[in-house]
Chains A and B, each alone.
Chain A
Amino acid sequence: MALLEVERLNTFYGQSHILFDVSLVVDKGEVVCLLGRNGAGKSTTLKSIIGLVPPRWGSIRFKGQEIAGLPPYRIARMGIGYVPEERRIFANLSVRENLEVACRLTPGEGNGRRWDMERVLALFPRLRPFLERRAGTLSGGEQQMLTIARTLMTNPDLLLLDEPSEGLAPVVVQALKEQLLRLKETGLTIILAEQNVRFVSGLGDRVYILEKGHIRYQAPMERFLADEAVRMAYLAV
């Protein structure tokens, strides 16, 4: 059984139909990339899965259970972690509090946890000196690390990452990629929405391409990278 099975998802913003019969399958341990131009529907797909913009029709099964229509907090508690494009850190809280907010286990129960404060700080050591600072004072790259670290604190089995490389300086993007590779090595399942093909190559296992709310293409990463025509058709600006 796949970890996540999305079947014929149709999502609307008010009257406007955004996603058309989007289907995807994600197996445990995979990094699946969701590519597409601006406005293709990548973010909407992730928001439909976490329940922030529930689909009007279609089914989303996670660990075999139907989750479409559940409130986001219930979906998150089943093991899906969402890292939004806009980062959405709690700017009025300290960096430490941003991490604590997401921590659901009471202290002392930490033994079975894969992620705790120490481990996320080991992955993102740049956050450590800022723990007591207001999160709103962090730089863009630091905020991106914080938003990922915060979601890891929920111990997700599936991580939804929305354009983490967007708006970051090239060196920061490179560091981020290495951190995501380390996450992948822990066996974490990831759906990575991106526009940056360089960023996802070497990171993703499989690729889906969205265009105007339709899935147009799917392939293993190597085949996608070898296919110049597909990239020109769906991704070139």
Chain B
Amino acid sequence: MDWLAENTPRIVVQLLSGLSVGVLLFLVSSGLSLIFGVSRVVNFAHGALYMVGAYLAYTIMRLAPGSGPYFWLALLGAPLGVALLGLLVEVLFLRRIYQAEHIYQLLLTIAIAFIIGDTVRTIWGAENRSVTRPDFLTATIPILGQAFPSYNLVILGLGPVVLGALWWVFYRTRWGMLVRAATWDRDMLGALGVNTPLVYSTVFVFGAWLAGLGGALVAPIQGLSPGMDASVIILAFVAVVIGGLGSFFGTLVSAVVIGEVQALAVLNPFLRQYDLVLPFALMALVLIVKPVGLFGRPE
């Protein structure tokens, strides 16, 4: 009890920071989940798209370090740039392999990830890069006597906004309805006269946009390096599997859970050593208890 009372402020702050990690992870993994749900392609290039988002945001923010307007410009422009890149990838490559076997799809998306990775290395160099937060978000806010970065508060605030926007898109627009129907039975949707190839393309572009947004948000708080895509794609993949392949809601829950588990593990000297392994342990546990993931649907 004493320990708990003494550590409550730290726990609260860790919970908040875990939540902000969860929001970022959700942005990446929701796109991955969405693309898989509709086209059944596991997009291993998703981490690379996220990375491009981070580098594009870095480049825009570097034009005027610390400037508020350029920060917002980066949040707007970088995801759009990534969406455009996603469109290119879909039109040139992916749309040719939707009917192919999974192994070919995997090979293709992995190849695309490598190509994008090397392109990033060529353009931005192999060394680590970082960019400062905008001036209005450099301060820390005291929460229960602990210092909490105001930038993370913005991410926390953005979480519900993004979630609300996504809900609106999926439940209040015709496109969203078609995406949900395609997730259930895309061939039937086509047999009803819906242009399903167009649905696949737009979903891929939208997923790329989400990854770009995640990358742009992370740019000011993490060093950028050409290898950053690999760690993200693996964690995003774990989140999608825990949530249940193709389940949007499941991805949300598992992204937050992973963020919290990693954040809380920091408080425990023993678990702290294993914070990188914990998501995988969690995934193994979930798969043993429920092989289709928390909110997955049996095939």
Q: Which of chain B's residues have a CB closer than 8 A to the CB of A73?
A: 190-197
Binds B, one of A9-17, A85-93, A180-188: A85-93
Q: How far is the CB of B170 from chain A (nearest CB, A)?
A: 11
Minimum CB distance partner of A83 in chain B: B191
B284 lies within 8 A of chain A by Cβ: no
- Is there an interface contact between B185 and A77, defined as CB atoms closer than 8 Å? no
B193 with A90: CB separation less than 8 A: no
Contact with B along A96-109 (1 / 0, CB 8 A): 01001110100000
**Shortest Cβ distance from A11 into chain B, in angstroms?**
16
- Are A92 and B194 interface neighbours, CB within 8 A? no
CA separation between A93 and B171, bound complex, in Å?
10
Contacts A88-B185, A90-B185 given: A76-B180 contact, CB under 8 Å?
Answer: no
Chain B residue at minimum C-beta to C-beta distance from A106: B174
Partner of A101, one of B178, B183, B187, B197: B178
By the criterion of a CB under 8 Å from any partner CB, how many residues of chain A are at the interface?
23
| Residue among B174, B185, B191, B195 with max Cβ neighbours from chain A (10 Å) | B191
Instruction: Answer yes or no: B276 CB below 8 A from chain A CBs.
Output: no
Contact with B along A70-82 (1 / 0, CB 8 A): 0111001100001
**A162-199 contacts to B (CB < 8 Å):** none
Nearest CB of A to B101, in Å: 13
Interface SS, B side: helix
B interface bracket (residues with beta carbon within 8 Å of A)? 10 to 19
In the complex, are the beta carbons of A52 and B187 less than 8 A apart?
yes
Bound complex: CA A81 to CA B184 (Å): 19
Contact A71 B190 (CB under 8 A): yes
- Determine if A151 and B183 form an interchain contact, defined as CB atoms under 8 angstroms apart: no
Task: Tell me if A93 and B188 are in contact (CB < 8 A).
Answer: no
C-alpha spacing A102/B188, complex, angstroms: 10
Once A93-B177, A97-B177 are accepted as A-B contacts, the answer to whether A102 and B184 lie under 8 Å apart by CB is no
CB distance from A218 to the nearest CB of B (A): 26
In this complex, what residue of A is CB-closest to B192? A102
Which residues of A have CB within 8 Å of B190?
A: 71-73, 76
B181 in the interface (beta carbon within 8 A): yes
Q: Return A161 CB to nearest CB of chain B, in Å.
A: 13
Give Cα distance in the complex from A93 to B34, angstroms: 16
A77 → chain B, closest Cβ, in Å?
5
* B-chain residues with CB within 8 Å of residue A154 when the two chains form the complex: 192-193
- Does A84 touch B at the CB level, under 8 Å? yes
Most A CB contacts (10 A, CB to CB) among B177, B188, B190, B195 go to: B188
Shortest Cβ distance from B196 into A: residue: A73
Instruction: Using CB atoms, name the residue of chain B closest to A94.
Output: B177
B278 located at the interface, meaning its Cβ lies under 8 Å from any Cβ of chain A in the complex: no
B181-A90 in contact (CB<8A): yes
Report B79 CB to chain A, min CB distance, Å.
28
How far, in whole Å, are A71 and B95 apart by their CA atoms in the complex?
14
B189 at the interface (CB under 8 A from A): yes
Are B185 and A102 in touch, CB under 8 angstroms? no
Query: Which of A72, A97, A104 is the one whose CB lies under 8 Å from B187?
Result: A72
| Cβ B191 vs Cβ A90 within 8 A | no
How far apart are the CA atoms of A84 and B185 in the complex, in Å? 12
> Are B180 and A77 in touch, CB under 8 angstroms?
no
A73-B194, A73-B195, A93-B177 given as contacts; is B189 within 8 A of A101 (CB)?
Answer: yes
Which A residues touch B184, using CB under 8 A? Answer: 90-93
Which chain A positions have C-beta within 8 A of B187? 52, 72
Residues of A within 8 A of B195 (CB): 73
Q: When chains A and B are docked, how far (Å) is the Cα of A52 from the Cα of B191?
A: 7
Known interface pairs A52-B191, A73-B191, A90-B185; 11 further A-B residue pairs with C-beta atoms within 8 A, sorted by A's residue number: A72-B191, A73-B194, A73-B195, A73-B197, A76-B190, A90-B180, A90-B188, A91-B184, A93-B184, A100-B177, A102-B192
5 contacts between A and B (CB under 8 A): A71-B190, A88-B185, A97-B177, A100-B174, A102-B194
Q: Using CB atoms and an 8 Å cutoff, list the residues of chain B in contact with chain A.
A: 174, 177-178, 180-181, 183-185, 187-197
- Pick the 8 closest A-B CB pairs, nearest first: A76-B193, A88-B188, A72-B190, A73-B190, A102-B192, A72-B191, A90-B181, A77-B193
